[in-house]
Amino acid sequence: MEELEKRINELSPLTWAYVGDAVYELYIRENLVNKTKLKPHKLHLESIKYVKASAQATILHRIEEELTEEEKEIVRRTRNTKNHHLPKNAEVNEYMYSTAFEGLIGYLYLTKQDERLKEILEKCI
């Protein structure tokens, strides 16, 4: 596991966020499909409420005190990574925090910390 973690730590935090974005969106979609009877268009509209930058930033602020020191460091590293992509529908600060949230999700996924990932994802709904 140490070799895997070392390799993952060498990746850019924006790479963690890239993976985390997909993992989180899939979790939300799967959750909505399993818990509602919505048609695809309504599923999409409902999922946006969870995956937009402002929602992710809010979730991160809500769970921040429950994170381990290592997880807080992952959040800090991702949040502080220079990102040349400017947000369309979010404030810069919200976007930084949503990217940090995605970075945490991606890092946990990539390092196969499945139980912790599940704990955090369950707090998002």
CB atoms within 10 A of CB 49: 11
Q: Report yes or no: 81 and 12 within 8 Å, Cβ to Cβ.
A: yes
* CA dist., res. 9 & res. 18, Å (int): 14
Catalytic one of 8, 17, 21, 56: 21
- What distance in Å separates the CA atoms of residue 67 and residue 4, rounded to the nearest whole number? 21
| DSSP state at residue 65 | G
User: Is residue 114 among the annotated active site residues?
Assistant: no
User: Which residues, including other chains, have CB under 8 Å from residue 5's CB and lie 6 or more apart?
Assistant: 111
Catalytic positions are 21
